[in-house]
Structure 1
Amino acid sequence: MKRDTLAEQTPPTDSSTSSPPLVLGPHWALPALLAALSVLGPFSIDTYLPAFSGISTSLAASPLQMQQTLSAYLLAFAFMNLFHGALADSFGRRPVVLWGVAAFGLASVGCALAQSAEQLIFFRAMQGMSAGASMVVSRAIIRDVFAPTQAQKVMSQVTLYFGLAPAIAPIVGGWLYTLLGWHSIFWFMALLGAGLWLVNWRVLPETLPIADRQPLRLKPLIQGYMELGLSARFLLLAVSSALPFNGMFVYILASPEFLGGHLQLAPTQFFWMFLCAIGGIMLGATASGRMAGVLAPKKQIRFGFLTMAVASVINISLNAAGLYHPILAIVPLGIFSFGWAVVMPPITLLVLDMNPTRRGMASSLQACITSAANGVVAGVIVPLVMHSSLTMSLASASFWAIGLGAWLYLHKRWPELGRNI
């Protein structure tokens, strides 16, 4: 039987994008590569969390300095995301991905060789500045190559791995730390970056034709960001995707306190929460892919938000009643993860299609908003709510509620948004 190839897939239907170059290989090859690119950033956020105590002891770092290694990464990640997409719109997708992955690998080496907390903070910031390139540009590539229905199916696969990364990363980091020490975590990241660079150098196509590239000039660039940043439609779409993710992310960031303190689980039992979150994301992303071309994006998003609502109500009720059994505490997180994975792909595609000639810029600004929200949650919200399982459940539900409010306002002001398949 003849294998399907990416070259046989239907190209984007909007007239602003030229036909993409032929991409040889099995139909799953490019989606798998883009999924791998998308997880580099979120994976490197959480991989070293299990080694916090060991790093702190080794480098004589205070708790504040350890928190700064995370905040520096997230803030640099958010800031640089503003530029990755614009650079990709001007110079092409491939060069930005290759330079970004190479810089990430070198920064990881710097983290592994750090001799002080200050050096680790610096190189973590360098990791953050470079890691976003692969995530931002991979989203733009999806819409460069695929028509809307197929793009949602591919975006669902990417969402699956994007959501899996924060759940799997602490497990990988914990094993590396236990077996080989904290330095091995960053050496692993360096090897991951090197391997990903080699694969992309060999097989990643350039999907933005020269004729469609935008001049890299400061004034038009600022004007473009101003137009997007002042667009209520864009901002509401960005908020409706960024905030619900933190309903799950808050538990991942606070996992040592939540699982070890509130649920009294041993470190070897922590994986149950991550498996539950992984299962929810996998099922949700699969469901979103199956819905593509069958249900209108608006109906999919409504279903996802309703699912998260059910999970939030169950979670708050159980915590208010003082029921702290691990199964009762963890299962609602899996349901919530399912809902988020259903919502994310169609909303992301609506963002990218707002300006077909500046998809890189739209992806950049969306990623910047998401990263900034993650940074605030990591540095401010989690330390405030982690000491009580009830306040954690209320914080999670609040992120969902803000995202829902943004989507409901979008529905009211632009009722045609997401109506068509």
Structure 2
Amino acid sequence: MTHMHKASALTLSFLLAGLAALAPFTIDTYLPAFHTLAQDFHTDNLAIQQSLTAYLLPYALMTLWHGAISDAIGRLRTIYIGLGIFTLASIGCAFATNVETLWFFRVIQGLSAGAGNVVARAMVRDLFEGVMAQRVMAQLQMMFGLAPAIAPIMGGWLLGIHWQAIFVFLALYAGLAMLCVQRWLPETMPPEKRRPLSARAVWQGYAQVFGDREYLKLVVAVGANFAGFFVYVLAAPVFLVEHLGLGPQQFGWMFIPTVCGMMLGSYLARHSAGRYSAHRIIRLGYGWMAMAAILNLLVCWLLPPQPLWNIAPIVLYNIGSALVLPNLSIAALDRMPKLRGTASSGQAFMQMVLATVSAGLLIPLLWHHPAGLALGMAGYLLLGFLATRASLVWQPIKPASQDK
């Protein structure tokens, strides 16, 4: 472990986790305010829903660039620029007077919010080695998973003040993060190790990564499994308020148990690693997710909407999704041993692309009835299963990594 002169390992791990959590906070904190925003801007839920698309698409595109930028100008400068722009954009959202202005500043948020997340993950490997690196990365993953549970609850509380307070909170979050970075986080990309920013080199790296068909199958599977749950995250303002009759301060009824399901699946994945083969874990996970998706469809078709039985299948789905994620993700990264940073960004990019497609196209078509959202989950699960079924990880023999 290196660069430990400014803070302890525990402080650094929490700070990096806080940077990684900014992106999900930006998605989920304002979900309880959708109806209020629609009323204040004299528009409908669909127009406010498109503010999610306005955030997610630029976020996905910039995911491909933040790492390369930090390699060229340094980790800390990239974080400072990203957080500074994000702070100003959040203030712009707070003072928006119409939905078009909200869209514009959400785009700016999307372009800047990923810097902390992407660079934080790169800094884990810069700062830590071996078991400590695994523990810190697990800390980041846990914070990244907890944020969707905490953010809507905080958003509901802040909505009690005013919807503007939500975006002021995001600005303060980013501002505080900048102060903490300045105080405790060391620069881990010294000038002598920096590489010139080359669009051609970045493009060639991604062309090589996405040109590998096995890698492409795996990242599509990871993204589709994630999107099966994210359908409900993006549709939460309609699903929870209009269909299940919950209030803006009750979003935790869905987000807390679903994140607990995700954490349970992650625990089972760690517990089963080394005890069972990857293909057995993956097959078990998909069987579990299929059971949850079928149960979800039956509940939506046969029973009237009710929080307990409409949310329970989503929790069960997340257990299976988190169970298969590590094996699929590691298999994808192992396809590119010399380009793992690029491969990691490509995986995050695929997740965000599918989330953007959901936000902009699918959710407005599906959210009119709980059964529509259940079909969305089942459709993404089928896509993930077909991609995994066609890959080498489905087979009993573990695929060898490909040296690129």
Report TM bin, short chain.
0.7 to 0.9
Aligned length: 400
1:316–1:393 CA contact under 8 A, matched in 2? yes
TM-score (norm 2): 0.87
Report the equivalent of 2:73: 91
Distance 1:308 1:82 in 2: 30
Mark the CA change 1:279 to 1:386 in structure 2 (over 3 Å): closer, same or farther. Answer: same
Please, which runs of 5 or more residues in structure 1 have no aligned partner?
1-6, 8-19
Give the 5 Å matches for 1:355-394: 355=336, 358-394=339-375
Report the equivalent of 1:114: 96
Does residue 51 (structure 1) correspond to residue 33 (structure 2)? The answer is: yes
- The CA deviation at 1:167 is 3.1
1:34–1:138 CA contact under 8 A, matched in 2? yes
Paired residue secondary structure (2:390): helix
- Equivalent of residue 296 in structure 2, options 315, 325, 344: 315
Report the equivalent of 2:140: 158
- Equivalent of residue 242 in structure 1, options 223, 232, 238: 223
1:136–1:360 CA contact under 8 A, matched in 2? no
Distance 1:136 1:300 in 2: 28
- The CA deviation at 1:376 is 0.8
Report the equivalent of 1:17: none
Report the equivalent of 1:272: 253
Does residue 285 (structure 1) correspond to residue 266 (structure 2)? The answer is: yes
Distance 2:370 2:13 in 1: 38
Report the equivalent of 2:214: 233
Mark the CA change 1:353 to 1:411 in structure 2 (over 3 Å): closer, same or farther. Answer: closer
- Equivalent of residue 55 in structure 2, options 63, 73, 78: 73
Report the equivalent of 2:162: 181
Distance 2:318 2:134 in 1: 18
Mark the CA change 1:146 to 1:239 in structure 2 (over 3 Å): closer, same or farther. Answer: farther
Distance 1:50 1:107 in 2: 20
- The CA deviation at 1:155 is 3.6
- Write the letter of the residue equivalent to 1:44: T
Report the equivalent of 1:338: 319
- The CA deviation at 1:329 is 1.7
* Worse-superposed segment, 237-246 or 212-221: 212-221
Please, which runs of 5 or more residues in structure 2 have no aligned partner?
none
- The CA deviation at 1:72 is 1.0
Mark the CA change 1:125 to 1:48 in structure 2 (over 3 Å): closer, same or farther. Answer: same
1:296–1:418 CA contact under 8 A, matched in 2? no
- The CA deviation at 1:36 is 1.7
Report the equivalent of 1:3: none
Report the equivalent of 1:329: 310
Mark the CA change 1:188 to 1:274 in structure 2 (over 3 Å): closer, same or farther. Answer: same
* Worse-superposed segment, 293-302 or 259-268: 293-302
Report the equivalent of 1:103: 85
* Worse-superposed segment, 169-178 or 306-315: 306-315
Report the equivalent of 1:203: 184
| Percent of aligned pairs with the same amino acid | 40
Mark the CA change 1:322 to 1:90 in structure 2 (over 3 Å): closer, same or farther. Answer: same
Runs of 4+ in 1 over 6 A off after TM superposition: none
Paired residue secondary structure (2:398): coil
Distance 1:33 1:302 in 2: 36
Does residue 29 (structure 1) correspond to residue 11 (structure 2)? The answer is: yes
Q: What RMSD in Å do the two structures reach over aligned CA positions?
A: 2.9
Distance 2:88 2:128 in 1: 33
TM-score (norm 1): 0.84
* Worse-superposed segment, 154-163 or 269-278: 154-163
Mark the CA change 1:139 to 1:302 in structure 2 (over 3 Å): closer, same or farther. Answer: farther
Distance 1:146 1:120 in 2: 39
